Structure 1
Amino acid sequence: MTASVTTERDGRRGDGGALTESWDDPPPSAGGPVARALAPLRRLGRWLVEEVAADRERWVLWGPVGFGTGAALYFALHAEPPWWSGLAAVGGAAVLLIGLRRWLAAAILALAGLVVALGFLVAQAETARVAAPILTRELAGAEVTGRVMAVERRPGAVRLTLRDPTISRLNPEETPKAVRIRISDRHPPPAPGAMVRLRASLSPPAPPAEPGAFDFQRRAFFMGLGATGFSVGGAETIEAPPVTGWSRVAVWFEQARGHIAARVAATIADPVEASVTAALLNGEEFAIPDATMDAFRFSGLAHLLSISGLHVGIAAGILFYVVRALLALSPWIALRWPIKKIAALFGILSALAYTLLVGAPLPTVRSVLMTGMVMGAIMLDRDPLSMRLVAFAGLVTTALDPEGMLGPSFQMSFAAVVALIAVFERISEPMAVWRRGFGWFGQSLIYVGGIVLTSVIATLATLPFSLFHFQQIAFYGVLSNMIAIPITSFWVMPWSLVAYALFPFGWEAPAVIAMNWGDRAVIATAVFFAGLPWSSITVPAMPVGGFVAVVLGGLWLCGWTRPWRWLGLVAVLGGLASPALVARPDLLVSGDGKLVGVRTASGRLSLSAKSPGRTGETWLQRDGTPQAADSWPVSGGGADGRLSCDALGCVYRLHGRSASILRLPDALDDDCGATDAVIAAVSARGCRAPLVIDRWRLRREGAHALYVTPDGVRADSVRDHRGDRPWTASRP
Structure 2
Amino acid sequence: MAGRSGTDPAARAVPRYRAPAGAVVGAVAMGPRVLGRALAATLAAERARWPLWLPVALGLGIAGYLALPVEPPRWTGAALMAGLAVLLLLARRAAWITALLVALTAAAVGFVVVQERARAVAAPVLAERLGPVSVSGRVVLVEPRPGRVRVTLADVAMARLAPADTPARVRVTLTRGAPPPPGTWITTRAILSPPPRPAAPDAFPFPRRAWFERLGAVGFAVGPWTRPDPAPAPTVWARLVAVRETARVTVAGRLGEGLSGAEGALATALSTGDRGAVPVPVVQAFRDAGLAHLLAISGLHMSMIAGLLFVGARSLLALWPAAALRLDLKKPAALVALAGTAAYLMLSGANVPAQRAFLMTGLVLAAVLLERTAISPRVVAWAAAAVLLIQPQALAGPSFQMSFAAVLALVAAWDLAAPRLAAWRRAGPGGADRWLARGVALYLGGILLTSVVAGLATLPFAAFHFNRVPVWGLAANMLAVPIMGLWVMPWLLAVLALLPLGLEGPALVPLGWGLGAIRWVAETVAGWPGASASVPAAPTWGLAAVALGGLWLCLWRRSWRLLGIAGLVLGLLSPWSRPPPDLLVTDTGRTMAVRAGGGGGLILSPGRADGFARRLWRDRWGGASPEPWPGPGQAAADGALRCDPLGCVLRRDGRVLALAWTRAALAEDCPRADVVVTPLPTGGACVGPSTVIDRRALARDGSHALWLDDGSGGGTRGRPSVRTASDALGDRLWSPRTPDGP
TM range (shorter): over 0.9
Partner secondary structure for residue 606 of structure 1: strand
Q: CA deviation at 1:241?
A: 3.1
Counterpart mapping for 1:142-157 below 5 A:
142-157=133-148
Q: CA deviation at 1:13?
A: 7.5
Distance in 2 of aligned mates of 1:225 and 1:13: 53
User: Which residue matches 1:47?
Assistant: 38
Q: CA deviation at 1:232?
A: 2.9
What TM-score, normalized to structure 2? 0.92
Q: More displaced, 56-65 or 657-666?
A: 657-666
Are the structure 2 counterparts of residues 635 and 231 from structure 1 closer, same or farther at C-alpha, using a change threshold of 3 Å? farther
Q: Deviations over 1:518-559 (max 9, x none)?
A: 101111111100111111011111111111111100000001
User: Which residue matches 2:606?
Assistant: 609
User: Which residue matches 1:430?
Assistant: 420
Q: Deviations over 1:406-443 (max 9, x none)?
A: 11111111111101111110111111111114432232
User: Which residue matches 1:727?
Assistant: 734
Distance in 2 of aligned mates of 1:38 and 1:327: 64
Structure 1 residue ranges, 4+ long, deviating more than 3 angstroms after superposition: 9-16, 36-39, 626-629
User: Which residue matches 1:234?
Assistant: 224
Letter of the 1:722 counterpart: L
Counterpart mapping for 1:20-35 below 5 A:
none
Are the structure 2 counterparts of residues 271 and 205 from structure 1 closer, same or farther at C-alpha, using a change threshold of 3 Å? same
User: Which residue matches 1:661?
Assistant: 659
Partner secondary structure for residue 610 of structure 1: coil
Letter of the 1:285 counterpart: R
> Within the alignment, does 1:690 sit opposite 2:690 as a pair?
yes
Letter of the 1:398 counterpart: L
Letter of the 2:278 counterpart: I
Counterpart mapping for 1:475-490 below 5 A:
475-490=471-486
The answer as to whether partners of 1:706 and 1:716 remain within 8 angstroms in 2 is: yes
Distance in 2 of aligned mates of 1:649 and 1:631: 12
Q: CA deviation at 1:322?
A: 0.9
1:288 to 278, 293, 299: 278
User: Which residue matches 1:303?
Assistant: 293
Letter of the 2:375 counterpart: L
Counterpart mapping for 1:215-614 below 5 A:
215-239=205-229, 240-268=231-259, 270-436=260-426, 437=428, 438-603=434-599, 604-611=601-608, 612-614=610-612
Q: CA deviation at 1:103?
A: 3.7
Partner secondary structure for residue 31 of structure 2: helix
Distance in 1 of aligned mates of 2:124 and 2:625: 38
Are the structure 2 counterparts of residues 76 and 564 from structure 1 closer, same or farther at C-alpha, using a change threshold of 3 Å? same
Q: Deviations over 1:104-147 (max 9, x none)?
A: 23222211110110010001011011111111201131111111
Letter of the 2:606 counterpart: A
The answer as to whether partners of 2:549 and 2:566 remain within 8 angstroms in 1 is: yes
Distance in 2 of aligned mates of 1:265 and 1:537: 33
Are the structure 2 counterparts of residues 690 and 37 from structure 1 closer, same or farther at C-alpha, using a change threshold of 3 Å? closer
What TM-score, normalized to structure 1? 0.93
Distance in 2 of aligned mates of 1:522 and 1:412: 22
Partner secondary structure for residue 182 of structure 1: strand
The answer as to whether partners of 2:28 and 2:34 remain within 8 angstroms in 1 is: no
Partner secondary structure for residue 636 of structure 1: coil
> Within the alignment, does 1:124 sit opposite 2:120 as a pair?
no
Are the structure 2 counterparts of residues 355 and 600 from structure 1 closer, same or farther at C-alpha, using a change threshold of 3 Å? same
Q: Deviations over 1:359-392 (max 9, x none)?
A: 0010110011111110100000111000000000
The answer as to whether partners of 2:28 and 2:35 remain within 8 angstroms in 1 is: no
The answer as to whether partners of 1:188 and 1:234 remain within 8 angstroms in 2 is: no
The answer as to whether partners of 1:193 and 1:242 remain within 8 angstroms in 2 is: no
The answer as to whether partners of 2:17 and 2:558 remain within 8 angstroms in 1 is: no
Q: CA deviation at 1:616?
A: 1.2
Does 1 or 2 have the higher relative contact order (CA < 8 Å, sep 6+)? Answer: 2
Partner secondary structure for residue 602 of structure 1: helix
Q: CA deviation at 1:15?
A: 11
Q: Deviations over 1:223-278 (max 9, x none)?
A: 1211111113221122313422222111111111111121122212x321111111
Distance in 1 of aligned mates of 2:650 and 2:159: 44
> Within the alignment, does 1:80 sit opposite 2:71 as a pair?
yes
Are the structure 2 counterparts of residues 608 and 626 from structure 1 closer, same or farther at C-alpha, using a change threshold of 3 Å? closer
User: Which residue matches 1:648?
Assistant: 646
Are the structure 2 counterparts of residues 37 and 698 from structure 1 closer, same or farther at C-alpha, using a change threshold of 3 Å? closer
> Within the alignment, does 1:189 sit opposite 2:179 as a pair?
yes
User: Which residue matches 1:30?
Assistant: none
The answer as to whether partners of 2:17 and 2:42 remain within 8 angstroms in 1 is: no
Distance in 1 of aligned mates of 2:632 and 2:246: 52
Letter of the 2:416 counterpart: R
Q: CA deviation at 1:456?
A: 0.6
Partner secondary structure for residue 630 of structure 1: coil
Q: More displaced, 615-624 or 164-173?
A: 164-173
The answer as to whether partners of 2:603 and 2:624 remain within 8 angstroms in 1 is: no
Count of aligned pairs between the two proteins: 705
User: Which residue matches 1:27?
Assistant: none
Distance in 1 of aligned mates of 2:313 and 2:28: 68
Q: In percent, how many aligned pairs have the same letter?
A: 43
Structure 2: give runs of 5+ residues left out of the alignment.
1-10, 19-23, 429-433, 711-716
Are the structure 2 counterparts of residues 245 and 635 from structure 1 closer, same or farther at C-alpha, using a change threshold of 3 Å? farther
Partner secondary structure for residue 598 of structure 2: coil
Partner secondary structure for residue 238 of structure 1: coil
Partner secondary structure for residue 312 of structure 2: helix
Distance in 1 of aligned mates of 2:140 and 2:14: 62
Distance in 1 of aligned mates of 2:15 and 2:465: 47
The answer as to whether partners of 1:471 and 1:539 remain within 8 angstroms in 2 is: yes
Are the structure 2 counterparts of residues 37 and 400 from structure 1 closer, same or farther at C-alpha, using a change threshold of 3 Å? closer
Letter of the 1:641 counterpart: G
Distance in 2 of aligned mates of 1:219 and 1:665: 39
Partner secondary structure for residue 483 of structure 1: helix
Distance in 2 of aligned mates of 1:623 and 1:38: 42
The answer as to whether partners of 2:425 and 2:435 remain within 8 angstroms in 1 is: no
Q: More displaced, 325-334 or 608-617?
A: 608-617
2:722 to 687, 706, 715: 715
> Within the alignment, does 1:204 sit opposite 2:189 as a pair?
no
Q: Deviations over 1:309-333 (max 9, x none)?
A: 1111111111111111111111112
Partner secondary structure for residue 637 of structure 1: coil
Partner secondary structure for residue 708 of structure 2: strand
Partner secondary structure for residue 591 of structure 1: coil
> Within the alignment, does 1:700 sit opposite 2:700 as a pair?
yes
Q: CA deviation at 1:39?
A: 5.8
Q: CA deviation at 1:681?
A: 1.7
Distance in 2 of aligned mates of 1:621 and 1:678: 26
User: Which residue matches 1:19?
Assistant: none
User: Which residue matches 1:620?
Assistant: 618
